[in-house]
Amino acid sequence: MARITVDYFSAALMRTTTLDVILPVDNVGDAMALDYNLRHNNQSAQDAPYPVRKGPFKTLFLLHGITGNHTDFISETRIRALAEDHNLAVIMPSGYNAFYLDQPETHNYYGRFVGQELVEVARAMFPLSQRREDTFIGGVSMGAYGALRNGLNYCENFGAIISLSSAMVVEGFDRIISDDLFFLSRPFLESTFGDLNHVVDSDKDPGRLAADIVYCDRPRPRVFMAIGNQDPLAPANRYLADRMRGTGIDVTYREMNGGHDWHLWNEALQQAIDWLPL
Amino acid sequence: MARITVDYFSAALMRTTTLDVILPVDNVGDAMALDYNLRHNNQSAQDAPYPVRKGPFKTLFLLHGITGNHTDFISETRIRALAEDHNLAVIMPSGYNAFYLDQPETHNYYGRFVGQELVEVARAMFPLSQRREDTFIGGVSMGAYGALRNGLNYCENFGAIISLSSAMVVEGFDRIISDDLFFLSRPFLESTFGDLNHVVDSDKDPGRLAADIVYCDRPRPRVFMAIGNQDPLAPANRYLADRMRGTGIDVTYREMNGGHDWHLWNEALQQAIDWLPL
Amino acid sequence: MARITVDYFSAALMRTTTLDVILPVDNVGDAMALDYNLRHNNQSAQDAPYPVRKGPFKTLFLLHGITGNHTDFISETRIRALAEDHNLAVIMPSGYNAFYLDQPETHNYYGRFVGQELVEVARAMFPLSQRREDTFIGGVSMGAYGALRNGLNYCENFGAIISLSSAMVVEGFDRIISDDLFFLSRPFLESTFGDLNHVVDSDKDPGRLAADIVYCDRPRPRVFMAIGNQDPLAPANRYLADRMRGTGIDVTYREMNGGHDWHLWNEALQQAIDWLPL
Amino acid sequence: MARITVDYFSAALMRTTTLDVILPVDNVGDAMALDYNLRHNNQSAQDAPYPVRKGPFKTLFLLHGITGNHTDFISETRIRALAEDHNLAVIMPSGYNAFYLDQPETHNYYGRFVGQELVEVARAMFPLSQRREDTFIGGVSMGAYGALRNGLNYCENFGAIISLSSAMVVEGFDRIISDDLFFLSRPFLESTFGDLNHVVDSDKDPGRLAADIVYCDRPRPRVFMAIGNQDPLAPANRYLADRMRGTGIDVTYREMNGGHDWHLWNEALQQAIDWLPL
């Protein structure tokens, strides 16, 4: 299971950005089995083929939450083992606390970055499947929002969306403004989401994007949502699941025992990957 | 010459950010010389001390230009060899196209990040000198502006400033607005520098910061400026050098043969490091 | 929780080698609490101290098993979260399938590397405690053997040893030679351990090293051993635990439900870190 | 110019090993030109294609010298800029002071690793040309020896070989044994090259491999050799160049002003890449 770190120049961000990547080209078990056979048959490795697994691989684009970066999933979850078990490539970008939304003034098109550019660039770098059906986007917390928003907005690219404990799917942004956390302050929310009175029903509202996809007969990604039953974000997630289902999107929604933390996400990630068509 | 990559949570940015670091604790020559002596004296390495170089090390904080990130200097210059020759630690952060200026709305305090936090955090991570006289900040292009601005604004932290081909030290921002490059567009410049009519003489104007330092009798960093004679930014740099000198700051200013590129910066970096009190 | 990758020139190996390091200088919770207070008191961050945690830190040197490298623990366990909870620095070197034993012919002194040099170099790079009582060595499988052997051989450096599922602590090497796996073949074992008839009671035998320490009145590291009850290595580990206890070493020995894999090691690592004097 | 670090499980080494890779999929100039056009035509980036460069790329496998590792070329040369100028992929493995020769006892098949496995694995990971004519191997000092030996031994894989200041191409190994340097000691040389009386004319002798290739009518890589005129290895390199030419191999041989160091290799690398059929 190759573990890869990439620094590349992103045209969507106009700067070099860093990715972590998991690519299932190598496998210890394959190599050991080959070695076992060679030894027991008194053969030399010289003529044996190398046990390389070749693509095209199914691919999950996986987005971290607020305060994190591209290294989060490898440090905090067992994504490497999960990906190996399922022969899955995983692409993990950095999100810069920006909720994976475009910021045109500073030419930081974070939405295009994860929804469009990264798909093209990752396919140009690695042997990934070019098929929408084999391409998935997911994330935790801020990254779950990013996966819902960009998975739906760029629905031609993604066959499935994984949302674990999505943040910011609220119906009324004015209700959550607070001085408790920097990302709940009015200046932060306005510079990230724009006019807070017009987020609902905009292209930053996953519920609206789902309705538009169905209305315009664009490809419909399947959606997996999970959240902890002790997470204050649970009601808003449940409401969004119902809303998307109402439009005709296929939504699997699970409330699990737990809160808003890596313990829950480790378990939920396993369930989500089992749910993917792998 | 240890080469180090760090992911740490920055309180100034409220997210995990990545640094490249060079630390002169190890030295191939030292190890070879020890090994030579042991071999020629029939001694075992068992009882020999390890050839580890101990700090506190003098330190250069080194800032990349627009479109780059923390990996630029190691890829594009021979900074590792230069640092080894001078027993110098080098800390290279990522600047996110933000000109190393604070963006309070999104809690991206890039100025505080490189001018204050990074100094404290790097000293808490590595065996660096705590003395202002041993602590330097430098950069190329956007990073040169960042070094001038933050080296002067946080003059209690830095004994010397290196500016190679500084961008954005212009007297009239309105003259440079253009559609040729994203970072010359009005929206970019306004979201980065604020009201463009009030940049001159603000705390984003190195000339003004230099005057304030002298006026308020704060510590005066020495300044090294270099620029290519074919660089369109040369007149503005020359003007700034004169202006800072006029306030009483010690400025070394050199125009070198060349343009705005890594060829010039490789040579200029060598001259700048020779100029440092090492 | 800073995550760090280091390439440095090792005099013990006469080449550049790579480490992963975890250093508890930063903390998201500290930063959020400070930000909360500032916001609720209408204060600026400008004058607030940065929430940097300063050493000297207690330190665990952590050794991977056969087929792995320095990246194993971060990918396969939640060591980063465990270290953060306990304010512990963790140093993870690469072991090159060599069982952390010296190979003088090729100047690969893997034993000295992890037992002596790395302790000195890591303390020269990072703010680690210089005290034996605060310095620990541990590992899984091949790395557990490396921790036992080098923790005992360099007992002046380590206050505690963690052995999870130690390999190669057998009493008779001739019984394990096989063509099933490359590291059980006679050539591999001989080039790694030397004459197989003389490993027992040599300085590659943890039981003998334990006896020598007590006999020579050298410092006695405390030992934590864990192994799966379905692991074929369990009897040999149990026997070694008894043997070391018999010499007067303080040994905690646990058989846990499970086999020879990361599931068990994740749980055992948590127990081991709880057992450390942190 | 994407810069990539890979940890993958090598079946030839039976352990995880680390590579640095340069991949020309991205290009700042392309992105700037696209952005310029969009701005001047009042178009949105929304519908523009991303400026991604697609393979299959010509590829250089590049081997470091003694005491180094996979990070050497990026730190010490401007390989990233050179590769960008020529649209060339570069794969840089670690060589572990082993002269890129097989060590069967410990299952460290370093020769197969760089000569065969890495070619297959790199092609399975990245969009590289599958053609021999587009695949090159080169190196400096120990790595130059590794490139000559393995480029010739696996001549079906490589169309060209670059040797900069090759070490260990001597005709009589007994003449170089010395206590001055660890890698000139008899134990090191014997454990690396085997019986020193039988290296000449063995499959570890590039001159002999060249003769065999021609005799057996296998594909003939073209060879570029450069060396400093102050390098004590110059006569042996000149002799080898003549010997290979005598067999019918196409050899370009240059003596440059300089010694055995990165200054010469930086310049020689540029000449070598200009010489490649790019």
State pLDDT tens for residues B266-275.
999 999 999 9
Asked if A114 and A38 touch (Cβ cutoff 8 Å), the reply is: no
Q: Is C125–B25 a contact, with Cβ atoms under 8 angstroms apart? A: yes
Res. B134: pLDDT tops 80: yes
Banded pLDDT at B262 (limits 50, 70, 90): very high
Which chain D residues are closer than 8 Å to A112 by Cβ?
45-46
Q: Which of C193, C171, C274, C189 is nearest to C226 (CA)?
A: C274
Which chain A residues are closer than 8 Å to B12 by Cβ?
none
Which chain D residues are closer than 8 Å to B185 by Cβ?
39
Give one word for A87, left, alpha or beta, with left for phi > 0 and alpha for psi -120 to 50. left
> By the CB < 8 Å criterion, does D74 face chain B?
yes
Banded pLDDT at B46 (limits 50, 70, 90): low
CA distance A121 to A103: 20
Res. C204: pLDDT tops 90: yes
Res. C120: pLDDT tops 90: yes
> What pLDDT is recorded for position C36?
87
Which chain B residues are closer than 8 Å to A72 by Cβ?
16
| Among the partner residues B1, B52, B121, nearest to C120 by beta-carbon distance | B52
Q: How far is D74 from chain B (nearest CA, A)?
A: 5
> By the CB < 8 Å criterion, does C180 face chain D?
no
Q: Is A8–D2 a contact, with Cβ atoms under 8 angstroms apart? A: yes
> What pLDDT is recorded for position A47?
65
CA distance B5 to C52: 19
> By the CB < 8 Å criterion, does B224 face chain C?
no
> What pLDDT is recorded for position A126?
98
Which chain B residues are closer than 8 Å to D71 by Cβ?
3
- Please write down the long-range contacts of C181-184, taking CB distance under 8 Å and 24 or more positions apart: C181/A32, C181/A35, C181/A36, C182/A35, C182/A39, C182/D14, C182/D107, C183/C66, C183/C97, C183/D14, C183/D107
Q: Is C183–D71 a contact, with Cβ atoms under 8 angstroms apart? A: no
SS3 B19: strand
Res. C171: pLDDT tops 80: no
Q: Which residues contact A14 (CB under 8 A, 6 or more apart)?
A: A107, A108, B66, B67, B97, B182, B183, D31, D35
Residues of chain A with pLDDT under 50: none
Q: How far is A220 from chain C (nearest CA, A)?
A: 34
Asked if B63 and B147 touch (Cβ cutoff 8 Å), the reply is: yes
User: What are the beta bridge partners of residue A102?
Assistant: A109
Neighbour count for residue B243 (Cβ, 10 Å):
19
Res. B175: pLDDT tops 90: no
> Counting runs of H as helices and runs of E as strands, what totals does chain D give?
10, 10
Lowest mean pLDDT among A28-42, B28-42, C42-56, C206-220: C42-56
> By the CB < 8 Å criterion, does C270 face chain A?
no
Which chain A residues are closer than 8 Å to C182 by Cβ?
35, 39
Q: Which of C247, C204, C10 is nearest to C125 (CA)?
A: C10
Which chain D residues are closer than 8 Å to B32 by Cβ?
181
| Among the partner residues C68, C97, C106, nearest to D97 by beta-carbon distance | C106
> Counting runs of H as helices and runs of E as strands, what totals does chain B give?
10, 10
Q: What is the DSSP letter of C181?
A: S
Res. B242: pLDDT tops 80: yes
Q: Is A179–C40 a contact, with Cβ atoms under 8 angstroms apart? A: yes
> What pLDDT is recorded for position D93?
98
Banded pLDDT at B45 (limits 50, 70, 90): low
Return the number of CB contacts < 8 Å for B and D. 46
> By the CB < 8 Å criterion, does D266 face chain C?
no
> By the CB < 8 Å criterion, does D39 face chain B?
yes
Cα C122 to Cα A203, B1, B85, C60, C62: the distances in Å are 51, 14, 22, 11, 13
Q: What angle do CA C28, C31, C33 make, to 5 degrees?
A: 105
| Among the partner residues D52, D120, D121, nearest to A120 by beta-carbon distance | D52
Which chain A residues are closer than 8 Å to D120 by Cβ?
50, 52
Res. B182: pLDDT tops 90: yes
Percent of chain C with pLDDT over 70: 99
| Among the partner residues A2, A9, A50, nearest to D7 by beta-carbon distance | A2
Mean pLDDT for chain C overall? 94
CA distance A148 to A226: 12
Q: Name the CA radius of gyration of chain D, rounded.
A: 20
Q: Is A80–C76 a contact, with Cβ atoms under 8 angstroms apart? A: yes
Q: Where are the alpha helices (DSSP H) in B162-251?
A: 186-193, 206-215, 234-247
Q: How far is B20 from chain A (nearest CA, A)?
A: 13
Which chain A residues are closer than 8 Å to B182 by Cβ?
14, 107
| Largest Cα–Cα separation, chain C | 74
pLDDT digits (tens, 9 = 90+) for C29-59: 888 888 888 888 877 766 677 789 999 999 9
> By the CB < 8 Å criterion, does D245 face chain B?
no
CA dihedral D203, D171, D108, D122 (to 10 degrees): -70
> What pLDDT is recorded for position D175?
83
> By the CB < 8 Å criterion, does B203 face chain C?
no
> What pLDDT is recorded for position B170?
76
> By the CB < 8 Å criterion, does B78 face chain D?
yes
Q: How far is D57 from chain C (nearest CA, A)?
A: 29
Lowest mean pLDDT among A223-237, B40-54, B191-205, C193-207: B40-54
Q: Is D97–C69 a contact, with Cβ atoms under 8 angstroms apart? A: no
> By the CB < 8 Å criterion, does D262 face chain B?
yes
> What pLDDT is recorded for position D46?
65
Q: Which residues of C110-147 are buried (b: 16+ CB within 10 A; e: fewer)?
A: bbbbbbbbbbbbbbbbbbbeeebebbbbbbbbbbbbbb
> What pLDDT is recorded for position C47?
65
> What pLDDT is recorded for position D22?
98
State whether the Cα torsion A129-A133-A139-A145 is positive or negative.
positive
ipTM: 0.95
Q: Which of A221, A231, A272, A276 is nearest to A255 (CA)?
A: A231
Q: Is A120–D5 a contact, with Cβ atoms under 8 angstroms apart? A: no
Q: Which of A16, A18, A14, A15 is nearest to A5 (CA)?
A: A18
> By the CB < 8 Å criterion, does A181 face chain C?
yes
> What pLDDT is recorded for position A69?
97
Residues of chain D with pLDDT under 70: 45-47
Q: Is C75–A74 a contact, with Cβ atoms under 8 angstroms apart? A: yes
The residue in chain A having the minimum alpha-carbon distance to the alpha carbon of residue C266 is: A78
Q: How far is A104 from chain D (nearest CA, A)?
A: 10
Q: How far is B139 from chain C (nearest CA, A)?
A: 23
D141: phi then psi, degrees, rounded to nearest 5: 55, -115
CA distance C121 to B52: 6
> By the CB < 8 Å criterion, does D181 face chain C?
no
| Among the partner residues B6, B34, B126, nearest to C11 by beta-carbon distance | B34
- Which A residues in the span 143-172 are in contact with C, Cβ-Cβ below 8 Å? none
Q: What is the DSSP letter of C127?
A: -
> What pLDDT is recorded for position A46?
65
Res. B47: pLDDT tops 70: no
> By the CB < 8 Å criterion, does A23 face chain D?
yes
Q: How far is B31 from chain C (nearest CA, A)?
A: 6
> What pLDDT is recorded for position C231?
96
Q: Which residues contact A54 (CB under 8 A, 6 or more apart)?
A: A25, A127, D124
> By the CB < 8 Å criterion, does B18 face chain D?
no
Q: Is A107–B97 a contact, with Cβ atoms under 8 angstroms apart? A: yes
B233: phi then psi, degrees, rounded to nearest 5: -85, 0
CA distance D167 to D160: 19
| Among the partner residues B66, B98, B106, nearest to A191 by beta-carbon distance | B106
> By the CB < 8 Å criterion, does D188 face chain C?
yes
3-state secondary structure C48-111: CCCCCCCCCEEEEEEECCCCCCCCHHHHHCCHHHHHHHHCEEEEECCCCCCCCCEEHHHCEEHH
Which chain B residues are closer than 8 Å to D40 by Cβ?
179
> By the CB < 8 Å criterion, does C19 face chain D?
no
Q: Is C35–B50 a contact, with Cβ atoms under 8 angstroms apart? A: no
Q: How many residues does chain B have?
A: 278
SS3 D163: strand
Neighbours of chain B (3+ CB pairs under 8 A): A, C, D
Which chain A residues are closer than 8 Å to B66 by Cβ?
14-15
> By the CB < 8 Å criterion, does B33 face chain D?
no
Q: How far is B211 from chain A (nearest CA, A)?
A: 30
Which chain D residues are closer than 8 Å to A54 by Cβ?
124
